[in-house]
Amino acid sequence: MVCVEKGLPGKDLNSEIGMLVKNGLPVQIQQSLDLVRVVGNNFVHPGQIVIEDNTDRIEKFFELVNLIVDTLIVQPEKVNAMYKTLVPPDKQQKIATRDGKP
Protein backbone atom coordinates (compact mmCIF):
# COMPACT_ATOMS: atom_id res chain seq x y z
CA MET A 1 0.00 0.00 0.00
CA VAL A 2 2.92 2.36 0.68
CA CYS A 3 4.23 1.76 -2.84
CA VAL A 4 0.81 2.55 -4.30
CA GLU A 5 0.71 5.74 -2.22
CA LYS A 6 4.08 6.66 -3.75
CA GLY A 7 2.65 6.25 -7.27
CA LEU A 8 3.83 2.72 -8.03
CA PRO A 9 1.57 -0.11 -9.24
CA GLY A 10 1.73 -2.19 -6.05
CA LYS A 11 2.38 -5.44 -7.91
CA ASP A 12 5.96 -6.53 -7.11
CA LEU A 13 7.29 -5.15 -3.83
CA ASN A 14 10.90 -6.12 -4.52
CA SER A 15 11.14 -4.25 -7.84
CA GLU A 16 9.16 -1.32 -6.46
CA ILE A 17 11.61 -0.95 -3.57
CA GLY A 18 14.31 -0.87 -6.25
CA MET A 19 12.45 1.93 -8.06
CA LEU A 20 12.19 3.91 -4.83
CA VAL A 21 15.93 3.42 -4.23
CA LYS A 22 16.68 4.78 -7.72
CA ASN A 23 14.62 7.84 -6.82
CA GLY A 24 16.67 8.56 -3.70
CA LEU A 25 15.04 6.45 -0.99
CA PRO A 26 17.10 6.71 2.22
CA VAL A 27 19.07 3.54 3.01
CA GLN A 28 17.36 3.13 6.40
CA ILE A 29 13.93 3.09 4.74
CA GLN A 30 15.13 0.72 2.01
CA GLN A 31 16.40 -1.65 4.68
CA SER A 32 13.16 -1.29 6.63
CA LEU A 33 11.11 -2.08 3.53
CA ASP A 34 13.27 -5.11 2.76
CA LEU A 35 12.99 -6.31 6.36
CA VAL A 36 9.22 -6.03 6.18
CA ARG A 37 9.20 -7.76 2.79
CA VAL A 38 11.54 -10.63 3.66
CA VAL A 39 11.00 -11.26 7.36
CA GLY A 40 7.37 -10.18 7.42
CA ASN A 41 6.46 -12.69 4.76
CA ASN A 42 7.22 -15.41 7.28
CA PHE A 43 4.64 -14.32 9.82
CA VAL A 44 2.19 -11.79 8.38
CA HIS A 45 -0.26 -12.56 5.61
CA PRO A 46 -3.26 -10.56 4.37
CA GLY A 47 -6.03 -10.71 6.95
CA GLN A 48 -4.12 -12.70 9.57
CA ILE A 49 -1.08 -12.60 11.80
CA VAL A 50 0.62 -15.87 12.59
CA ILE A 51 2.25 -15.56 15.99
CA GLU A 52 4.91 -18.19 16.35
CA ASP A 53 6.60 -17.91 19.71
CA ASN A 54 8.19 -14.51 19.43
CA THR A 55 5.92 -11.54 19.94
CA ASP A 56 8.99 -9.27 20.15
CA ARG A 57 9.65 -9.85 16.45
CA ILE A 58 6.09 -8.90 15.58
CA GLU A 59 6.34 -5.75 17.69
CA LYS A 60 9.58 -4.78 15.91
CA PHE A 61 7.95 -5.55 12.57
CA PHE A 62 5.13 -3.10 13.26
CA GLU A 63 7.61 -0.49 14.51
CA LEU A 64 9.27 -0.72 11.09
CA VAL A 65 5.93 -0.42 9.31
CA ASN A 66 5.15 2.70 11.35
CA LEU A 67 8.60 4.15 10.58
CA ILE A 68 8.14 3.54 6.86
CA VAL A 69 4.69 5.14 6.78
CA ASP A 70 5.83 8.09 8.88
CA THR A 71 8.90 8.75 6.71
CA LEU A 72 7.35 8.19 3.28
CA ILE A 73 3.80 9.48 3.80
CA VAL A 74 3.16 11.40 7.04
CA GLN A 75 6.25 13.63 7.15
CA PRO A 76 6.11 14.69 3.47
CA GLU A 77 2.42 15.55 3.82
CA LYS A 78 3.08 17.62 6.95
CA VAL A 79 5.91 19.54 5.28
CA ASN A 80 3.84 20.06 2.12
CA ALA A 81 0.91 21.42 4.15
CA MET A 82 3.17 23.80 6.07
CA TYR A 83 4.87 24.92 2.85
CA LYS A 84 1.55 25.68 1.17
CA THR A 85 0.29 27.50 4.26
CA LEU A 86 3.39 29.45 5.28
CA VAL A 87 5.14 30.29 1.99
CA PRO A 88 3.26 32.97 0.05
CA PRO A 89 2.08 31.88 -3.43
CA ASP A 90 4.35 34.36 -5.24
CA LYS A 91 7.36 32.95 -3.37
CA GLN A 92 6.22 29.40 -4.16
CA GLN A 93 6.17 30.33 -7.87
CA LYS A 94 9.68 31.81 -7.68
CA ILE A 95 10.94 28.67 -5.97
CA ALA A 96 9.26 26.47 -8.60
CA THR A 97 10.83 28.55 -11.39
CA ARG A 98 14.24 28.29 -9.70
CA ASP A 99 13.85 24.50 -9.58
CA GLY A 100 12.71 24.24 -13.22
CA LYS A 101 9.13 23.27 -12.36
CA PRO A 102 6.07 24.78 -14.05
Structural domain contains residue 102: no
Structural domain contains residue 19: yes
Structural domain contains residue 32: yes
**Where do the H-state alpha helices sit in 23-54?**
27-38, 40-43
The pTM assigned to this predicted structure is 0.74
Between the two ends of the chain, the Cα-to-Cα distance in Å is: 29
Residue 101, CA distances (Å) to 41, 85, 92, 96 in order = 40, 19, 11, 5
Calpha distance 76→57 (Å, rounded): 28
Give the pLDDT confidence of 29-47 residue by residue, as tens digits.
999 999 888 877 766 555 5
Residue 69 belongs to domain spanning: 2-97
Structural domain contains residue 41: yes
Section 53-75 average pLDDT: 87
Q: Domain count for the chain, please give it.
A: 1
